[in-house]
Amino acid sequence: MSNKIEEYVWPPTEEQIKDIASSALNSSNVSEVKVLVYWDNPTVMIFDPIHFARTDYVEKKYTFDERSVEVIIGKLD
């Protein structure tokens, strides 16, 4: 993802969500990945999250070959 702050407008675009999904899959070797990202700091990925801030969320799930990734993006941390 680019580090230009002006590109991080809520809600994230489909391309930005897919970019996070790809990064999460590349950072993990498990077959089912679940990752949480807060949009005010989108370069930090939290894998297998159990606690969530009270904010708006966008959730998407993608399947690539035999692997899947669930991306959860929170507006604010």
In terms of DSSP bridges, do strands 67-74 and 32-38 run parallel, antiparallel, or are they unpaired? parallel
**pTM score, two decimals?**
0.89
- Contact predicate 77/42, CB 8 Å: no
Q: What tokens does 71 get?
A: 């991306």
Q: Which positions ≥6 away from 48 have C-beta within 8 Å?
A: 34
| pLDDT tens-digit series, residues 13-52 | 999 999 999 999 999 999 999 999 999 999 999 999 999 9
